[in-house]
Each structure stands twice: as C-alpha cells, then as structure tokens.
Amino acid sequence: MHLGSTDRLEIFSDGVIAIAITLLVLDVRVPVAKDGALFHDLVSHWTSYVAYALSFAVVGIIWVAHHSMFEHIATADRGLLFWNLALLAGIAFVPFPTSLLAEYAHDGGRNAQVATAVYSATMTVIGLAFLAIWMHLARHPELLGEDADAANLRRSIKRSLVSPIVYGLTIGLAFVSPPACLAVYALLAVYLAGGPASRALVAKPFAAVRAAATGERTPKPSGDGARSSDPLP
C-alpha cells in the first residue's frame, strides 16, 4: 500500500536527527575549577570533546546518507515508514552511549570497555536499520524514483553491510582495546561519508559508461535475455 511522497517522512526524520545531534553538546560541560586549574581541568575532560566530535561526525554522516538515500525514493509505503522509525530510534539513542564514552573512556578498565561496547552496539543497530531499508526497497523496487536502477539494489545492499559488520566486530574489540575502537569508528566514518550504497544505486553499467566515453551506442540485450554488465563499484 503506497502512501504517497516521502516529504513528511523526510521532514520528520530531519527533526529527529537535528534534536539528537544537538543533545550531544550537553556532555561538554564547564568544569568547576580552582584558581589557576582551569587549563588542567579542561584537558582532563578530553574524552568529552572526543566523544562529542565523534558522534557529531557520525550523526552528520547518517543524515547525509539518509538524505542521499531518499533522493532516489519516490514514494513510501507502511513498511518503509516503520523501518525508518527503527532507524530514527537508533539515532535518537546516540546521545546516551556518547555520554557513557565521555564519562568512562578516560578511566580505562572494565567501565571503558563496557561504554565502548554499548556505543558499538548502538551503531550496529543503526547500520542494521539502514540495511533493512535497502532490503525493503529490493522487495519493493516500485518505490524508487526514475533515476534509480532497481538492478543495482543488490550492490547497494552489499555496501550497506559494511557498517553493521564492522561496528558489530568492534563490540568484541571494545573488550580488548577501546582506543582501537575509536580508530575504527573514524576510518568507518570516512568510508561512509562517500555514500557508497546510494552511489551504487544510480551507477551505470560498465557498457553504458564505455559507450558514453567512446561515443558508441550502448549494446542492447540479446534476444536470449542476457543481462547487461554489472554496474560500476
């Protein structure tokens, strides 16, 4: 059952993401410092700044990814609405694990490990929600816009798997080395910033790209139903 355009969905999503990203700053508190100790106290709260910067970047990238995804979705159905709500639930929860990192990451030991594991688990859930949306689109390609190629959905799904898999692995890594998890978060953020899943959705087949570069016509499928080449990575 189609419910029409995605305008209301996107407006609601933007509002939830805006609130979540704003709440992150609440963990950056002004220290109560003695005379001459302000600089030391500011430095001692370095985990708050790192947690804020990390989560701001992550939520910002999530917003960009969400925007890029829905640029290629023309209509929404009830299933898409509910999967999007699941995604927003994960995003709205981000300030909590961010607070845990800010509070316990500098202590080291078991508390830092648990705090990092909770952060990893939250990001894993968000990654799974994105994956669920892509899989829903694969089952209902009629929801896509004219610029999207439904044949590319399998590649979009494969690329969206990177996030939940890597974040899921960092849940275990958190109990070995929380700082290593922070490094993985940063590297994954760089990868996701490029919007690999959304770009794959509108990628042209290799034959079409080669034809455009050489001025040739794109070969038509043969009568035996042969498929065109795979889209560019």
Q: CB within 8 A of 78, min separation 6: which ones?
A: 1, 3
pLDDT, tens digit, for every residue of 151-168? Answer: 888 899 999 999 999 999
Q: CB within 8 A of 225, min separation 6: which ones?
A: none
Cα distances (angstroms) measured from residue 214 to each of 23, 153, 209 = 52, 27, 9
pLDDT, tens digit, for every residue of 189-228? Answer: 999 988 888 888 887 654 343 444 455 554 444 444 444 4
Check residue 30 and give its pLDDT.
73
Q: CB within 8 A of 102, min separation 6: which ones?
A: 27, 28, 47, 48, 51, 52
Between 7-23 and 46-70, two packed helices, what is the crossing angle to 10 degrees? Answer: 170
Check residue 213 and give its pLDDT.
45
User: Does residue 93 carry a pLDDT above 70?
Assistant: yes
Contact, 169 vs 193, CB < 8 A?
A: no
Selected residue with higher pLDDT from 6 and 150: 6
- Per-residue pLDDT band for 147 (boundaries 50, 70, 90) equals confident
**Confidence (pTM):** 0.81
Contact, 84 vs 133, CB < 8 A?
A: yes
How far is residue 45's CA from residue 49's CA, in Å, rounded to a whole number? 7
Average pLDDT along the chain: 84
Check residue 89 and give its pLDDT.
97
The tokens for 51 are 């947690």
Cα distances (angstroms) measured from residue 122 to each of 38, 91, 156, 192 = 34, 8, 22, 16
How far is residue 215's CA from residue 203's CA, in Å, rounded to a whole number? 19
Q: CB within 8 A of 8, min separation 6: which ones?
A: none
Q: Classify 4 as helix, strand or coil.
A: strand
